Amino acid sequence: MTDERDTRESTQGSGRGSTTGDGFAVLGVAIRREPWIFTLSTIGSLLFGVMTVADAWVLGWATDHVVVPAFRDGEIASGLLWAVLGLFMAVAVLRAVGIVARRLGAGLMQYRMQAHSRREVTRQYLSLPMEWHQRHPTGQLLSNAYSDVEAAWGPIAPLPMAVGTLVMMIVAIVQMLAADVVMALVGLLVFPAVVVANLFYQRLSSPLMTRAQGLRAEVSEIAHESFDGAMVVKTLGREAEETARFTAKAHELRDVNVRAGRIRAVFDPTLASLPNFGVLVVLAVGVERVLSGATDPGDVVTVAYLLTIVSFPIRSIGWLLGEFPRSVVGFRRTQRVLDATGAMPYGDAVLPAPASGARLEVEGLGFSYEQAVPLLDGVTFDVEPGRTVALVGPTASGKSTLTHLLARLFDPQRGRVRVDGLDLRDLAHGTLSDSVSVVGQTAFLFDDTVRDNVTLGADVSDEQVWAALRAAEADGFVAALPHGLDTALGERGTSLSGGQRQRISLARALVRRPRLLVLDDATSAVDPEVEARILATLREDDRGATLVVVAYRKATIALADEVIHLDQGRVADRGTHEELLERSVRYGRLVNAYEHAAHEETTR
């Protein structure tokens, strides 16, 4: 982790003009993390390189000792012919072994690094508070975890080959110089041209790669919003506008990628042609030197062939450098997620596990979003174990925000929330979710079976699942489904009604036997009679879980032991439902308004 942090600091501080240095710094992270796999693939690449150079030596030796004598004498010695064939066969087998080791190691290293980075990014997503997620669109987060991670470690695939072929190139250059210094120096003039071509390519492509990675996130974001808002789009007839919005951004991404592709289309042929041009020059110079008696034909063949071999390392290094702009951009984008601040601190306290409800204390709670007007200000109340409290208030009075704070989806800017006398911030990680469950306004179901939607992978028996479904008044319709608990519910539970989805979500919370259950208007789509039975069952539970219910219906509110009236982020009053009706005009007007609106809704 320290290596990646150092790399991130160097890549961010180095500026746009050092993409090559930044790219090698990113690769250094992968090498330090997977040294053995990198060593294996590099050894394979070295074996491939040495055997490729050995081909040139065998070819030159065969030219001088077999081909030229055959033209001169008109016959070939069978022993020499079999020796040449044996040498070529041995070199080919060893080279094949090197290719397998190189490609296997490179692929394994690349996929392991991608898996590691995706796990790390996902863990960071889970550790960051909800307020951070609200500032970052889901499409962008998906792009960070997928395309940015893939781009960051893209150069790993050609890395071992480039390292091995670099050694091959050094050996080839030495052998070229040993064969003929003049022809070797002429051929090596291609290297400055290759360096210049790479510098131009990186300077032109880096800005385009940066923009392309950003546009991928924006395209993903628009697509995610369109899927999430499919009902809104269809019911309001906005399909054409939504398609146009997606098309515009997709075309922008296409145009940027096309511009980058055009640059790459010029770079790759240029890189491939430079060594070939060098071979032609070497052959021209070599012919003159053979005619003048300064060198042998075998040396010309050796140098020309070695130069063609050198062209492969040049191309492989070019492939590596060509991946650097996209890699550096992807690495920077993922590191911005990993370096995000705001991760919630945890203590080491553990909640007790008595067979009764939890005591809840809220003291001087204050909270606001993005320095806006405080949504909660000085909220203070307590709930005794096993009691049921209804939170009642107008829209934007802070009810849902308060439920999020009780589950520690956010931390308050002021005040504290205590469960059984322990501040939520002092609890060990994972402790709170063992005792506190929250069921929100929107019932989210996964594209999975009823059983897995209730258990979410927890070790829970079917008997416990059915008990939770009965408490949520969901056992009847689940039993009537084609496959009972094994019935797949479809994406977001589309095969169920709104009330059925809410009851499955409630069963999901109940199966964990929470000591504090927070319901944020979690039964709004359920019939009032069914809702009353659900709340009555929860109150009569043997364990006597403490209930905090955001309520709107008068019948629901009347079931609570106590009502807390929130208004403009403050506790305006508290007491029983009857007491508040008697002494608070605003409360009575609010509750009656809810009742009137609900009556109009049912009589339509």
- The 10s digit of each residue's pLDDT in 85-99 is 777 777 778 878 887
| Pairing verdict, β 360-367 and 414-419 | antiparallel
CA distances from 524 to 521, 550, 568 (A): 6, 10, 23
Which tokens go with 324?
């650097």
**How many other β-carbons are positioned within 10 Å of the β-carbon of residue 430?**
9
pLDDT greater than 70 at residue 162: yes
pLDDT greater than 50 at residue 426: yes
Nearest to 523 by CA among 552, 538, 502, 547: 502
Which of 600 and 210 is assigned the larger pLDDT? Answer: 210
pLDDT greater than 60 at residue 33: yes
**How many other β-carbons are positioned within 10 Å of the β-carbon of residue 564?**
23
Give start and end residues of each alpha helix (H) in 292-425.
297-338, 399-406
CA distances from 302 to 171, 315, 379, 516, 602 (A): 13, 20, 86, 82, 92
Query: What is the pLDDT confidence band of residue 66, given thresholds at 50, 70 and 90?
Result: low
Question: pLDDT value at position 588?
Answer: 83
| Pairing verdict, β 376-383 and 388-392 | unpaired
Which tokens go with 603?
């009589």
Residue-range domains of the chain with CATH: 2-338 (1.20.1560.10), 360-440+515-603 (3.40.50.300)
Three-state DSSP at 419 gives strand
**Mean pLDDT along residues 136-142:** 75
Among the ranges 70-74, 119-123, 130-134, 498-502, which has the highest mean pLDDT value?
119-123
pLDDT greater than 50 at residue 2: no
Query: What is the pLDDT confidence band of residue 16, given thresholds at 50, 70 and 90?
Result: very low
- Rounded Cα–Cα distance for residues 150 and 20 (Å): 18
What is the length of the chain?
A: 604
Segment 299-353, tens digit of pLDDT: 777 677 777 766 666 666 666 776 777 788 788 888 888 887 766 778 888 877 6
Which tokens go with 172?
């080839």
**Mean pLDDT along residues 176-186:** 73
Question: pLDDT value at position 13?
Answer: 44
Cβ atoms of 101 and 44 closer than 8 Å: yes
Question: pLDDT value at position 71?
Answer: 64
% of the chain surpassing 90 pLDDT:
0
Three-state DSSP at 263 gives helix
Query: What is the pLDDT confidence band of residue 538, given thresholds at 50, 70 and 90?
Result: confident
Q: Give the position of tokens 């628009």.
A: 222
Question: pLDDT value at position 591?
Answer: 78
- Measure the N-to-C terminal CA separation of the chain; round to a whole number of Å: 61
Q: Which residues contact residue 392 at a Cβ distance below 8 angstroms, ignoring those fewer than 6 apart? A: 399, 550, 551, 552, 557, 563, 564, 565, 566, 587, 590, 591
pLDDT greater than 80 at residue 235: no
- Rounded Cα–Cα distance for residues 598 and 465 (Å): 32
- DSSP bridge partners of 516: 436, 546
Query: What is the pLDDT confidence band of residue 17, given thresholds at 50, 70 and 90?
Result: very low
pLDDT greater than 50 at residue 260: yes
Query: What is the pLDDT confidence band of residue 72, given thresholds at 50, 70 and 90?
Result: low
Q: Give the position of tokens 């995610």.
A: 224
**Mean pLDDT along residues 230-236:** 66
Q: Which residues contact residue 292 at a Cβ distance below 8 angstroms, ignoring those fewer than 6 apart? A: none
% of the chain surpassing 70 pLDDT:
79
Give DSSP secondary structure letters for 14-26. Answer: S-GGGHHHHHHHH
Three-state DSSP at 100 gives helix
Question: pLDDT value at position 9?
Answer: 46
- Rounded Cα–Cα distance for residues 492 and 498 (Å): 11
Torsions phi, psi for 419 (to 5 deg): -120, 120
Query: What is the pLDDT confidence band of residue 298, given thresholds at 50, 70 and 90?
Result: low
Question: pLDDT value at position 10?
Answer: 46
pLDDT greater than 60 at residue 604: no
Cβ atoms of 385 and 357 closer than 8 Å: yes
Question: pLDDT value at position 14?
Answer: 41
- Rounded Cα–Cα distance for residues 278 and 308 (Å): 9
Mean pLDDT of the chain: 77
Measured N-to-C along each axis, helices 19-33 and 297-338 cross at an angle, to the nearest 10 degrees, of: 80
**Mean pLDDT along residues 172-200:** 72
User: For the ranges 190-199, 312-321, 466-475, which has the lowest average pLDDT?
Assistant: 312-321
Sign of CA dihedral 455, 114, 343, 210: negative
Cβ atoms of 428 and 349 closer than 8 Å: yes
In which element (H, E) is residue 382 found? strand 376-383
- Rounded Cα–Cα distance for residues 375 and 372 (Å): 8
Question: pLDDT value at position 311?
Answer: 63
Q: Which residues contact residue 203 at a Cβ distance below 8 angstroms, ignoring those fewer than 6 apart? A: 17
Question: pLDDT value at position 603?
Answer: 47
- Rounded Cα–Cα distance for residues 383 and 187 (Å): 85
Residue 449 is classified by DSSP as B
Three-state DSSP at 564 gives strand
Question: pLDDT value at position 344?
Answer: 74
Question: pLDDT value at position 15?
Answer: 44
Read off the amino acid at residue 199.
L
- Rounded Cα–Cα distance for residues 183 and 562 (Å): 96
Question: pLDDT value at position 542?
Answer: 54
Which tokens go with 195?
């360096």
Question: pLDDT value at position 60?
Answer: 66
- Rounded Cα–Cα distance for residues 60 and 181 (Å): 16
Surface-to-core class of residue 372, CB atoms within 10 Å of its CB (0-12 exposed, 13-18 middle, 19+ buried): exposed
